[in-house]
Amino acid sequence: MSETGKMQRNANSGNIDKPWGGRFQQSTEKLVEKFSASEHYDRRLCFHDIRGSLAHASMLARQGIISDKDLAAISEGLEEIRQEIEAGTFTWRPELEDVHMNIESALSRKVGAPGRRLHTARSRNDQVATDVRLYVREEIDRLDRLMHALQESLLHQACSFTGLVIPGFTHLQHAQPVLWSHHWLAYFQMFRRDRERLLDCRKRVNVCPLGSAALAGTGFPIDREYVARELGFDDITRNSLDAVGDRDFIIEFLACLSITMMHLSRMSEELVLWASSEFGFVELPDGYCTGSSIMPQKKNPDVPELVRGKTGRVYGHLVSLLTLMKGLPLAYNRDLQEDKEALFDAVDTTSICVEVMAGLVALVKPCADRLSEVTGKGFLTATDLADYLVGKGVPFREAHEVVGRAVASCIERGVELTDLDLEELKKFHPSVEGDVMGVLTPEGSANARNCPGGTGISAVRRQIQEAQAWLKEKAHEMEQGRREGDCR
């Protein structure tokens, strides 16, 4: 018999419903079936599983391991299964444990022997690793689009109120005046880094483990590079032991999601504070708030509060997976089944948080009168007075001390620096002249800082232009990526 014939004969044996049944004399306990089943959540991978199987079958036929007739039957059967899943008519069987065996068993019932040949030269170990990588790659691309929309909302805020001055804080204490636009552009930069991290993570996700089999590779003459190209991977994994037991790419992905959630939570915290009566800086849109069941006056910032709360949930999934992996020997262990629920929930949670915050941010309205009132208090221009004295030749530490005494005097008298006239200011240092008044206003303070990245109006306009150009470039890259994906 030819080598190909032997391969086909070997690939034709076994019971697809219980592929491990030859070793065991007793059936699995029902409780154990229930305990170990994962199909109720890993069925989310079904379309990735079908896509991987189609590429694998195509490679097997190309290499002469199965016949073209087998390939045609497998392809037709998998397409029927895909349509059934989309229509909601596919029957999922918990006793088959997972998405892979459910689909393969259904295929064998549809097409017979060709379906039982599909698993030649692969294992569920490299199969699930491939499916999850396809899933994570797709979710990275989807999250990138959602974060693009969030950045558009942030940029909308920056462009809508470019001249508005607001108090800047350190230690949640009044620090220096900044522009409203400058504040929102800070978050734009955070999510820019988040997108860059995700796309960098994608490089390590986008390698193909299929062909690693259970742990040692396979003796069949497979073409791993062909499968990788068919599935849109950039490369193949380099070590079969590592490939089937590696979940670094999920951990890295969850770390990226955790950082994104941290940024969302910081923004949420500020919105909760700013919308409170004590601050009164912003008005949140009614559609993103709720009332109280007992207090009719309440307008609760539920959306940012929930985002802030859900951040810990995503952190928990990252820690859970790190803990899962820390004690596992090579190669595959059944513990790895526990990676998916953490992964899926982290993706779902982060996605909805990014999406809902994009909608909320676009509709936030500043309370200009209140902001103007607050920026006139709290000695926000004290640093400007110190810088002014430095410009007159006073050493900075001396200027710092002088202004500190001036602030202490104002606090004692219950006035602001801007309430002092020229003669009063000159009492603190003889270098003070009439031009000092221009630097003591919040507007003068903010707009004086036009160094790159500063809060001055010219610097902020440059930031806006750069942000617009970056978003435009990213939109082009996303469109190009979609076209390439359609071609594949």
- List the catalytic residues: 171, 292
Instruction: Write b or e for each residue in 384-405: b if 16 or more Cβ atoms lie within 10 A of its Cβ, otherwise e.
Output: bbbbbbbeeebeeeebbebbee
Q: H or E stretch including 449? A: none
Q: H or E stretch including 472? A: helix 457-487
Report d(CA 45, CA 324) in Å as an integer: 21
DSSP 276: S
* The two structure tokens encoding residue 215: 């742990």
Pairing relationship of beta strands 235-236 and 207-208 according to DSSP bridges: parallel
Q: At 432, is the secondary structure helix, strand, or coil?
A: coil
Residue 57 neighbours by CB distance under 10 Å: 25
DSSP 207: E
Report d(CA 177, CA 189) in Å as an integer: 20
Overall residue count recorded for the chain in this entry: 488
Task: List the one residue out of 288, 290, 410, 425 whose CA is nearest residue 359.
Answer: 288
Q: At 87, is the secondary structure helix, strand, or coil?
A: helix
Q: What is the CA radius of gyration of the chain?
A: 31
* The two structure tokens encoding residue 375: 């920026």
Report d(CA 256, CA 39) in Å as an integer: 27
Report d(CA 296, CA 298) in Å as an integer: 6
Q: For 280-363, where are the E strands, in sequence order? A: 282-283
